Structure 1
Amino acid sequence: MTTALLVPASSAGSVDDAVGGLTGLSGALARFIAWIGEPGVFVATVLETVVPPIPSEVTLPLAGFIAAQGGMSLVLALVAATLGSVVGALALYGVGRAFGEERAVTWMAKVPFVDREEVQHAVDWFHRHGGASVFVGRLLPGVRSLVSVPAGTTRMPLVRFVLLTAAGSLLWNGLLVGGGYALGSQFERVEQYAGYVDYLFVAVVAVVLVLFVRSRVQRARRRGGSLEDAL
């Protein structure tokens, strides 16, 4: 497997320049990915999923940038990121399944930088929208990781959970890794504009949810049910 350790000198210099411009937790993860390669992408994505404050919006575009410089395989980077998302989601699914909703919410609220309100919001959102929220939730900030907890507490079928998580994660990770790859030498713009990606996805998901709720309401009316039954 090709890693960042095998990057040609000129490419390695470009990678070092980009990594050197990042500070704090983002910079630490960036240097970790640049050093280890695809396995680093996997580890960073697992951590991002289990500890929500870790920013995939920075680390995954960096993986794409390193791939563009020849430091790793673009396809393997995307596979590693998606596998990491699934593994991290399974860990949170296991927490929910093992402890139940109330204890799982309490436990997750003790994770640094995670508020109980955020966890409860993800739980409520799952209960409102059901299994589809596992796929859509991977595209939403604040729900992306935590939606796995109520999926576990309700004992959602594991195969369905994995498939929906993998599909949503592949879409999200593909956008970020592909964005870093496309930017190439313009990587410094990633950190500047990464925040706008969340807003874009919120808008897209809002439209999807409106159409979803509309279809549920129409189905309930055809069956003679109430609006509450539809939702």
Structure 2
Amino acid sequence: MSDTLVKICGLSSPETLLAAVSAGADMAGFVFFEKSPRHIDLETARTLGALGSGRIRKVALTVDATDDALQAVIDNLEPDLLQLHGRETPARVAAVKACFGLPVIKAIGVATAEDVAAAQSYEDVADILLFDAKPAPGAAVPGGAGVAFDWDLLRNISAANWMLSGGLDAENVREALRHTNAPAVDVSSGVERERGVKDAGKIAKFLLEVRVFDGLLR
């Protein structure tokens, strides 16, 4: 069995990006959504994009972004993948892929079995489905709240490539992996020392717990 893919999302400084690289993370996520405490501007994106190139796969997270906004992000970060974390329809996901030629991760908010079933409409257009806790009605941001959902809802996932997100941290990630057999995990608030600020030690601990789990499966 291959190692679990790990994405550290919401990185915003050279120090924490390098911490993710050093710990062995597979993907680094960068948030382009002004309402998020993890939002970075395009100048920061250029700096972090250059630093991460060749070291880690870079993911640009946007929320219902226009083509022009996506192009600006791509020009500055030079990401390897795009993550669409809003209410983008399957048709919009397909259009983004066709326009920019990059693999797409589509985030799916989950609260009920119906939410998981609805995700099937994205399987043919998104390269990876990311299952995250569904935000409360009226929430300012669509993710990164550190809230888990009922993992039992993912027991019969049909998608080949998917990620588990929502409320993960070093204390529960092994349990989450045992419960779901997720091929990939995504963490943001679970490796922060305060909201929006990553902690190098927590990043390293999270990766260690995942790799211990991987080792137990061998």
Q: Which TM bucket (shorter chain)?
A: under 0.3
Answer 1 or 2: which has greater strand percent: 2
Larger radius of gyration: 1
Under a length normalisation based on structure 1, what TM-score does the superposition of the two structures give? 0.23
Under a length normalisation based on structure 2, what TM-score does the superposition of the two structures give? 0.24
Answer 1 or 2: which has greater helix percent: 1
